[in-house]
Each structure stands twice: as C-alpha cells, then as structure tokens.
Amino acid sequence: MTGGNRGIGYAVAAELLSDGCDVVLVARDRDRGRAAQSALTAPGTPGPRLVVGDLSGVRAVRATAEALREACPRIDVLIHNAGLWPSRRTLTEDGLEQAFAVNHLAPFLLNHELEPLLVSSRARVVQVGAGLYVKGRVDLDRTPAGLDFHPVRTYADTKLCNLLLLPRFAERWRDSGVTVNAVHPGVIRTGLGDRGGPVGYLLKIVKLLWKSPEAGARPVVRLALDEELAGRTGRYFNLEQEEEVAPVAADPELAERLWGQALELAGLERTPPPVRR
C-alpha cells in the first residue's frame, strides 16, 4: 500500500493487520516509514513490512516497483493511497507537475510494472480517490506540466485523470481475474492539503469537524477484503455506496487519449492485455 505511514493509509494498515493480513507499507521517507512500522507493530506480532519508495518520478516509480517485487513474491491487494494536494506548482525531474506525477502517473505505472504479480494472484487493486474529481478538468496539453495549475483545482484535475482510466484498466484485466475499483473515503481529517499562514490555520479549525482517518479507512478495507465484492470491477464507490461516475469522468475518447499519453510519459509500449493461464 502506498502512503501507508500516516492518515488514511496508516488507518487502513492498522485495520488490515488486525484482520491478519501481511501488510507492506510504501513510504517515501525512511524515518517516517519506520516510525509508522514500529507504531503498527503490536507485541508478539511481526507487524508490517516497509518498502522505501518515491512516487514522484518515472525512474523512482520503477525503482519502487522493483523493491516491491523483491519484497512481495505475491500481491493479493494493491492499494493506491498516496496523494498530493500542492499549494504551488512544482515540477518533477521528468518535467511534470508533482500532483499529476504522484496522483495519476505513479498508479498507472505501478499497475503496469506489477501486472504479472497481480495477474498471478488475481489481485484486487483499490484506488483511493476523491469526490472533488467532479470539479476537475483535463487539458492534455497543459495539465501534465501544471501550466493550468491552481492550488485547489489541480488536485481535482489529477484525481479526475486517475478516475478516467479506471474502466480502461478494468477492461485490460477483464480476462485475467484482476479487479480494480475506486473509492471516495469521505472528507477525512488528515494532513492532505495543509497550508501555512492564516488560510492554513483556518483549514485546521475546519478539519476538526471532519471524520477521522479510521472512518476513512473502512470503505477502503471493504473493497480490499469483502467477499461480497469479489469479481466486481471498474466501479466507483462513494464511501460504501456504488455510484455512476459524473459525466466528466465518463468520456471514453478523452480516456483513450489520456491512456496513450500516460504510456508515452511512463516510457511504456502498448501491449496486449494479460490473460490468466
């Protein structure tokens, strides 16, 4: 699971561990990852494992995928939880806007890099989304480099990018047994989007009214483990309720172009969909 050292990811890890799962945390910062690993380890239990990996660049995502392949000979559930809500435009080493790279391109590339393991175990892939996708818009010429950057809307734009490709992955994996679903976990009190100054102070006050990370973890864990959802794929859930996506996320022509662009940005070739043998 990416982004497992704090917030919703940490709460998801705790619940999965309580259910007896072997959990692997992916964290960018080694010290924070080890702190979460230690805090999640109950006396007499092995606790979660840790993979230190950066998701902000193509080269780094490939290295993270390699570390995961070494740590995990089997993957039954892959949870894409890491996310950024930046307050200013920052470019990665690939020349991409940071939220676009982490929220959209990194899950796309990880899905491809880990695909053989996912297929071999008929895995579930869970994408932690955001209801704000409905406010997003995608400009294929401007959004990747953040030329249309906005401190609020860019988060929505990049989450929309991610959701647009959900049916494409569902179709790609249709005959492999791999399922993929997205979930909006609710408006949750985490560090996502924190700001400095007066605006940041006001946001912290507002967040006191939001739900806890533990509440946000429940719909994510449900998609990961609930047997009633086995075989269901390409679906979007608002908390625990399945919903049709808004029209802005149901544009197959835009999704096709976005998929092709992501392949190019990630340095991937178009390949036939995998079939479980």
Task: Please provide the DSSP assignment of 85-129 as one string.
Answer: --SS--B-TTS-BHHIIIIIIHHHHHHHHTHHHHHHTT-EEEEE-
- Asked about 155 being catalytic, the answer comes back as yes
Amino acid, single-letter form, for residue 86? P
Amino acid, single-letter form, for residue 259? W
Q: What is the CA radius of gyration of the chain?
A: 18
Do 54 and 33 meet the contact criterion of CB atoms below 8 Å apart? no
Among residues 163, 146, 157, which one has the least CA distance to residue 98?
Answer: 146
Measure the CA–CA gap between 272 and 74, rounded to whole angstroms.
22
Which member of 133, 155, 201, 236 is catalytic?
155
User: b or e along 187-222 (b: 16 or more beta carbons within 10 Å of the residue's beta carbon)?
Assistant: bbbbebbeeeeeeeeeeeeebeeeeebebbbbbbbb
Measure the CA–CA gap between 38 and 168, rounded to whole angstroms.
38
Q: Which residues are catalytic?
A: 155
